[in-house]
């Protein structure tokens, strides 16, 4: 399994909270790392930054971006274009961070397929070797979708799964919740999977207001 450097050339990454430190270490040490909890805690930024480092260290590597085809606001059907274009709009938070670290070469990697946005509809039968794979909004996956996603992982790859169980789709059993339960119940998974919970308001580093408004919504 390839190792990551927390400081590669101009790409720097330092934890801003205790939970972030655990999260970074998990991504370094484990094949699959799960970051779950409050928005604004840096889960996406850290994952995308380490993906940029992974690609910088391994020129032939790929970055894979995935997200279930469910929106909290139910607006995905009104976006223009085909499914791939709609999915590209959904992974903007990752793309913004990658662009910051790969300014000038990001477009080249998208064109040559080194960075690939993969909808769940097109995932079956694929194998991802030597890839940094990110699954966002994983609380919206079904258990079957999570199983299919995890079975795509090949050799030399790292996977980061992020989500917030408090935002799981109503009436649906969450694949993210299933994975966390499996990790808690099956000790042999601990060697391969790490789970970091961002469940303290102090984990929110986006802004003071983001922390305050999160507390307000939790208190009502």
**Mean of all residue pLDDT scores within the chain:** 87
Distance CA 190, CA 84 (A): 34
Q: Please give the C-alpha separations between residue 194 and each of 88, 90, 109, 122, in angstroms, as whole numbers.
A: 27, 25, 29, 27
Residue 10's pLDDT is what? Answer: 76
- Beta-strand ranges (E) seen in 91-157 are 115-117, 131-135
CB atoms within 10 A of CB 172: 13
Q: Measuring CA to CA, which residue among 127, 125, 105, 126 is closest to residue 115?
A: 105
Predicted TM-score (pTM) of the model is: 0.88
Q: Give the pLDDT confidence of 23-61 residue by residue, as tens digits.
A: 999 999 999 999 999 999 999 999 999 999 999 999 899
Give me the domains of the chain, ranges plus CATH numbers. Answer: 31-219 (3.40.50.300)
Distance CA 112, CA 67 (A): 21
Q: Give the pLDDT confidence of 66-110 residue by residue, as tens digits.
A: 988 765 545 444 434 454 565 566 788 899 999 999 988 998 998
Residue 173's pLDDT is what? Answer: 84
Return the percentage of the chain with pLDDT > 90, whole number: 70
Residue 64's pLDDT is what? Answer: 96
């Amino acid at each position: 399994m390839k190792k990551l450097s927390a400081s590669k050339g101009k790409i720097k990454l330092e934890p801003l909270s205790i939970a972030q430190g655990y999260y970074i270490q998990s991504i370094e040490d484990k094949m699959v790392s799960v970051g779950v909890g409050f928005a604004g805690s840096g889960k996406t930024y850290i994952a995308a930054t380490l993906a940029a480092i992974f690609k910088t260290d391994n020129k032939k590597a790929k970055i894979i971006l995935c997200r279930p085809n469910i929106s909290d606001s139910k607006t995905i059907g009104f976006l223009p274009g085909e499914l791939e274009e709609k999915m590209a709009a959904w992974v903007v938070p990752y793309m913004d961070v990658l662009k910051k670290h790969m300014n000038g070469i990001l477009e080249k990697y998208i064109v040559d397929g080194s960075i690939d946005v993969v909808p769940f509809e097109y995932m079956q039968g694929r194998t991802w070797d030597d890839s940094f794979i990110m699954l966002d909004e994983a609380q919206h996956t079904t258990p079957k979708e999570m199983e299919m996603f995890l079975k795509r992982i090949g050799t030399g790859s790292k996977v980061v799964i992020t989500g917030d169980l408090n935002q799981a789709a109503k009436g649906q059993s969450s694949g993210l919740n299933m994975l966390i339960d499996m990790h808690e119940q099956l000790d042999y998974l601990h060697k391969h999977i790490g789970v970091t919970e961002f469940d303290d308001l102090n984990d929110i580093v986006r802004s003071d207001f983001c922390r305050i408004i999160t507390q307000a919504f939790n208190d009502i």
